[in-house]
Amino acid sequence: MVRDWNIFLAEYPLALTPFLMRPGYPNDYDETYEGAKDLFDSAIYSFGLNYIGFPAGNIPMALVNNLPSGVQIVGRKFREDLILDAMQVIEDKVGVMCEKLWAREG
């Protein structure tokens, strides 16, 4: 799997993946075994890519069902600069999520 990702990232320096495979979860969702398992299964891209050592950054994009939902940007090893640049482009386009969350709290 590491070899396949290295080959892919040699041609495409960044990959955009979901952070979770479904919209966000409530704060206490993982307090049961079933909830924790569902959460971990849904975060396979995040856990899997970190496990094999590829750098990635996660950035919220929007609120879905009133919860933050985002994407993950994966890059080549030692090229975190490209990931951060891409995250900045996304943030410049969609805005800063914490400002939206603070605004709704009043």
Over residues 43-87, the pLDDT tens digits come to 888 888 888 999 999 999 988 888 888 999 999 999 999 999 999
d(CA 23, CA 63): 9
Report pLDDT for 92. 96
What rounded mean pLDDT belongs to the chain?
Answer: 91
Report pLDDT for 28. 86
E strand intervals along 19-101: 56-64, 67-75
What is the pTM for the complete model shown? Answer: 0.84
Res 33 pLDDT > 90: yes
Report pLDDT for 65. 87
